[in-house]
Amino acid sequence: MEKSEQIKKFFELRTKGYSLRDISQVTGKSTRTLIKWNKKYCTVVFEVQQGELSAFKQKILEEKKSRLEYLNLNYNKIKDKLEHSELLMRYDKMLNYLIKLSKSIDDCQKNIILSEISEHLDEGEENNSKGEEIDSIGEEKIETKAINIRKKHEKQKENA
């Protein structure tokens, strides 16, 4: 393997979390060499890992929003059926399902809000590494952010 191929393999395996010993076995490079590469390229590896983590968080958030949209759609369908139904036999079942859907929607909204707050806290931690304290965010700002996000989601729910 050429050195450039070995370095690419090092990046690939290191960003996936492999140990230097495991990488040494795959690439055939000594552990000392890999320690040097690790020191030299640690910021690049960290940035790649953070980018992948951020993309993963975004994907999860999008899936949560998609689930919320699906739950709202079913909620509205059942609500319409209940309002326009003349059959009373299934009313209890539909009402119970409507209540469960409503709870699921609330839980999903809370998860989305917590994910977005977590994302902002993660950004605060990045600022913290630059010498700023995360405490400067303050609990009031976090609560205000949560309220604003909740209002935004309620408006989206009303528009849907």
Q: What is the pLDDT of residue 51?
A: 87
Angle (CA) 104 69 92, round 5°: 45
Q: What is the pLDDT of residues 81-113, one digit of tens each?
A: 777 765 555 666 777 777 888 888 888 777 787
Question: In whole angstroms, what is the distance from residue 129 CA to residue 50 CA?
Answer: 14
Question: For the chain, how many structural domains are there in total?
Answer: 1
Q: Name residue, tokens 């303050």.
A: 138
Which structural domain, as residue segments, surrounds residue 86?
A: 3-159
What's residue 29's pLDDT?
A: 87
- Residues 6 or more apart from 79 whose CB is under 8 A from it? 98
CA–chain centroid gap for 76, Å, is 27
pTM: 0.49
pLDDT of residue 127: 47
Determine the Cα–Cα distance for residues 19 and 35; give it in Å rounded to an integer. Answer: 10
160: which 2 tokens? Answer: 């849907």
131 pLDDT more than 70: no
